[in-house]
Amino acid sequence: MGHKILNGNELLIQGALEAGFHLYTGYPGSPLADFFNILYEEKENLLKKGIRVVIANSEANAAAMASGAKMAGQNVLVAMKSMGLHVASDALSVGNFANPGGLVDGKHSGVVVAVGDDPWSISTSTPADSRYLFKHLHMPFLEPATPQELKDWMAIALDISQRSSVYTGFLLTTFMAEGGGRVEVGAEKVIDSTPVTLDPRQFNLSTNVMVPPNSLFADKEMILNRFPQIKKILAELNMDQTFGNKNSDVGIISSGGVFETLKQVLEESNVINEIQLYKAATTYPFNEHQLLPFLKTIKHLIVVEEKRGFLEGEVKELINKHGLTLTVMGKEFKSDHG
């Protein structure tokens, strides 16, 4: 279809239009504040195409709206800043555990939650790390590293949610959201705007109303069946990538925008040919189908990430689970000074 130069918020919207969402909702907040400014300029035109744009009263209200739209078989994109994820967590937890069913062409309706983290508090009051909350909510999340991935992976995030009936997170940081680049764009997906009538009498209360004992059974279903399905999907997608010297016994792992900075530094210093470099598309859960073979080829692993050691903790857990023996260095990096 051609190329465009877009900033991060525009890339998020372009990717969503190509993926096929019916409802765009959330609450404005940096670094995703421009997300709704851009959408509202085209609000009436989008409505004619069957796409509704709603700025909710709060992130929690947006999450509740997403749950209702999912019941109606609609695909939903919810956007918010990092602290907004805390506000929305109650409603997101309830909505994520609910499992409406209602397959269309073998897929559920999907919900993607895009969150803008600000690790260095450039424009946000608190440098919250949303990775921990995504895990707490049983939400897998993607971490795009380039402008092209930021656009293209919206469709992948929706596909994961549709195939598993689990909400999918989409995490980007300030430099990704407020940056941008030249990307290849595709055609916008045509949305079915046929009105949907909901009859609550047709709902399966046991899988959609999260009160005891339903919520206990839903938790068991999530752990034993629904979330493991995501791991199978990731194994099929094979989104992770490796670079560098495959014969080296030293490996470095990273993800998201941090990865691109790291890769550039390694290339400019001519170090990349001396180590193995692993790019994780998802850090919860990992694509073990790709990551485990990589870990088995190295003796030393360096973990590079912003702020807290989420990636480090996840990879150590995987190493221990499979009884691997390798040195891991992350936030507590060894030096000549001990």
What are the pLDDT digits (tens) for 79-95?
A: 999 999 999 999 999 99
User: What are the tens digits of pLDDT across the range 191-223?
Assistant: 988 887 877 777 787 777 788 888 889 999 999
- Helix segments in the chain, DSSP class H: 8-19, 33-41, 43-48, 59-71, 82-97, 130-136, 147-164, 174-178, 205-208, 214-221, 227-237, 256-268, 288-295, 310-321
User: What are the tens digits of pLDDT across the range 59-75?
Assistant: 999 999 999 999 888 99
Fold of 3-237: Rossmann fold (3.40.50)
Q: Does 298 score more than 60 pLDDT? A: yes
Residue 148 confidence class, pLDDT cut points 50, 70, 90: very high
**In the chain, pLDDT over 70 holds for what percent of residues?**
96
Instruction: Indicate the pTM of the whole model.
Output: 0.94
Helices and strands (H and E) in the chain: how many: 14, 14
User: How high does pLDDT run on average in the chain?
Assistant: 92
Give the least confident one: 51-65, 212-226, 271-285.
Answer: 212-226
Give the least confident one: 175-179, 195-199, 252-256.
Answer: 195-199
pLDDT at 102: 61
Q: Does 333 score more than 80 pLDDT? A: no
> For the chain, which residues make up each domain, given as ranges?
3-237, 241-329
The answer to whether 3-237 and 241-329 have equal CATH topology is yes
pLDDT at 337: 41
Is domain 241-329 annotated with CATH 3.40.50.920? yes
Region 129-142 average pLDDT: 97
Q: Which residues contact 82 (CB under 8 A, 6 or more apart)?
A: 115, 116, 117, 118, 124, 126, 127, 128, 129, 130
User: What are the tens digits of pLDDT across the range 113-133?
Assistant: 999 999 888 877 788 899 999
pLDDT at 281: 98
